[in-house]
């Protein structure tokens, strides 16, 4: 169980304890004159009710409330959530009384009277505590989402200038030796930046769009390196519409160009592959995108902070948590860097889909 889940259930247990004290003080007419044995008995019974109702709320409301919120507006959403909480309070109360009857604390003949007597208290306390906890957890979730988006934006802002500076250096190197090549690269860079800016609002893009970005980048670098840079792209058709982190694949390809192609006279070959697979259990469709080169390799265990691959690992964690992995297998003359993400499909709108020429440009099979 994750640490955040443990903290969540600790809050639920603390809420149960507080609710039991409230019931003891407000509804049981307890005072300093009440015998200790009666106080303890009343508190334990209240705690039993709380522990039968609280876990139901803690387990089901985080699943039910977002579903209701996504389909209804205020005040219908809060009314629907309150009705669900009342139903859970009834179920929890029935469970608590059943336990008391089984433990011979309550005679079976008094089951109905105990239920009628506890119904009002259970509903009031459940609604009070449940609505407060729901509002708090909702605010906490929105805060976490905003924080993650801010962190993701900061990470992406460190990736994009790195790519831009490298490309501008490539253009500068060609200005005197090959002016036409530098002009062609400038046009390709403008197209690449235009595509990047069009997708700035979303951290996930279609793999097909990411492939176009990669091909534009490799075409730019191929003008600089010529035959020293050799590349192929082989992608399953079913994987092309899956969603991947924006510029993730380009980051890996750029790393291969920088460390495998650039420092060696003979250059290197780069192979880009993407495959779709279904992983049981729980029978989840995943997409694996990998880049292989025949360069000198590197020490994957010592990636410095701020390195492109380290940034990519952080981005995957922010976007998918533990549902995505970054795999690095590097040896002399063979390096494979790949990432696996859960398949996220989104039908592309006509204005967003690539045209036939762009689709053909992305196909290297």
- Condensed to tens digits (0 to 9), the pLDDT of residues 218-267 reads 988 887 788 999 999 999 888 888 889 888 898 899 889 988 998 899 99
Task: Indicate whether 32 belongs to any domain.
Answer: yes
Task: Specify whether 128 is located in the same domain as 180.
Answer: no
* More confident: 341 or 362: 341
Task: Give the Cα-Cα-Cα angle 185, 152, 320 (nearest 5 degrees).
Answer: 110
Beta-strand relationship, 334-342 and 325-331: antiparallel
pLDDT band at 357 (very low <50, low <70, confident <90, very high): very low
CATH number of the domain where residue 207 is located: 3.30.565.10
Does residue 39 sit within a domain? yes
Q: Same domain, yes or no, for 7 and 136?
A: yes
Residue 60 resides in a domain: yes
299 Cβ contact list (under 8 Å, min separation 6): 330
* Burial status of residue 275 (CB atoms within 10 A of its CB: 0-12, 13-18, 19 or more): middle
Q: Quick one: what percent of the chain has pLDDT higher than 90?
A: 24
Give the angle subtended at the CA of 339 by the CAs of 333 and 342, to the nearest 5°: 155
Within a domain: residue 336? yes
Instruction: Confirm whether 166 is domain-assigned.
Output: no
Mind listing the pLDDT tens digit for each residue in 57-88? 888 888 888 888 878 888 898 899 899 999 99
| pLDDT at residue number 201 | 59
How many CB atoms are closer than 10 A to CB 87? 13
Model confidence at 99, pLDDT cuts 50, 70, 90, reads very high
Q: How many residues does the chain have?
A: 365
pLDDT of residue 199: 54
Q: Are residues 185 and 316 in the same domain?
A: yes
Q: Which of 86-95, 247-256, 287-296 has the lowest mean pLDDT?
A: 247-256
Residues 205-217 have a mean pLDDT of 88
Of 126, 143, 160, at which residue does a domain stop?
Answer: 143
113 and 20 within one domain: yes
- Look at residue 154 and tell me if it is in a domain: no
Q: How many domains does the chain have?
A: 2
pLDDT of residue 326: 92
Q: 118 and 219 in one domain?
A: no
Q: Residue 153 and residue 254: Cα distance in Å, rounded?
A: 20
**When comparing pLDDT for 103 and 151, which is higher?**
103
Of the chain, the end-to-end C-alpha distance in Å amounts to: 44
**pLDDT at residue number 270:** 96
pLDDT for residue 364 is more than 50: no
Q: How far apart are CA 339 and CA 316, in angstroms?
A: 9
131 & 275 share domain? no
d(CA 269, CA 266): 10
pLDDT digits (tens, 9 = 90+) for 132-143: 777 777 777 776
Q: Residue 282's domain spans which residues?
A: 175-362
Q: Which residues of 54-86 are buried (b: 16+ CB within 10 A; e: fewer)?
A: bbbbbeebeebbeebbeeeeeeeebebbbebbb
Same domain, 199 and 341: yes
> Above 70 in pLDDT, residue 116?
yes
Which residue among 122, 143, 164 closes a domain? Answer: 143
The answer to whether 343 and 323 have CB atoms below 8 angstroms apart is: no
Task: Examine the domain organization and report whether 344 and 220 are in the same domain.
Answer: yes
DSSP 285: E
Q: What tokens were used for 319?
A: 């976007």
Q: Binning pLDDT at 50, 70 and 90, where does residue 297 land? A: confident
Pair 232, 305 in one domain: yes
- CA dihedral sign, ordered 94, 95, 100, 101: positive
Q: What is the pTM (predicted TM-score) of this model?
A: 0.55
């Amino acid at each position: 169980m994750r640490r955040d889940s443990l903290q969540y259930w600790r809050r639920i247990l603390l809420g149960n304890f507080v609710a039991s004290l409230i019931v003891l003080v407000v509804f049981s007419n307890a005072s300093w004159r009440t015998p200790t044995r009666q106080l303890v008995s009343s508190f334990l019974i209240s705690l039993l009710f709380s522990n039968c109702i609280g876990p139901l709320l803690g387990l089901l409301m985080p699943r039910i409330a977002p579903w209701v919120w996504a389909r209804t507006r205020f005040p219908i959403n809060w009314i629907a959530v309150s009705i669900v909480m009342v139903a859970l309070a009834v179920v929890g109360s029935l469970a608590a009384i059943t336990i008391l009857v089984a433990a011979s604390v309550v005679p079976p003949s008094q089951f109905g009277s105990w239920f009628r007597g506890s119904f009002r208290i259970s509903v009031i306390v459940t609604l009070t505590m449940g609505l407060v906890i729901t509002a708090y957890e909702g605010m906490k979730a929105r805060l976490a989402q905003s924080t993650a988006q801010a962190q993701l934006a900061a990470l992406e802002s460190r990736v994009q200038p790195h790519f831009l500076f490298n490309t501008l250096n490539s253009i500068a190197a060609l200005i005197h030796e090959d002016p036409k090549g530098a002009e062609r690269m400038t046009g390709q860079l403008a197209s690449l930046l235009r595509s990047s800016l069009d997708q700035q609002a979303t951290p996930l893009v279609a793999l097909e769009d990411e492939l176009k970005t990669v091909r534009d980048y490799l075409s730019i670098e191929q003008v600089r390196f010529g035959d020293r840079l050799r590349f192929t792209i082989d992608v399953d058709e079913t994987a092309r519409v899956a969603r991947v982190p924006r510029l993730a694949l380009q980051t890996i390809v750029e790393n291969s160009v920088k460390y495998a192609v650039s420092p060696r006279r003979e250059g290197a070959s780069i192979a880009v592959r993407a495959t779709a697979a279904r992983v049981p259990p729980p029978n989840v469709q995943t997409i694996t995108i990998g880049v292989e080169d025949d360069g000198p390799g590197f020490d994957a265990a010592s990636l410095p902070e701020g390195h492109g691959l380290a940034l990519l690992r952080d981005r995957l964690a922010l976007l998918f948590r533990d549902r995505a992995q970054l795999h690095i297998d590097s040896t002399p003359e063979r390096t494979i860097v790949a990432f696996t993400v859960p398949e996220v499909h989104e039908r592309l709108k006509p204005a967003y889909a690539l045209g036939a020429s762009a689709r053909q440009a992305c196909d290297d099979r």
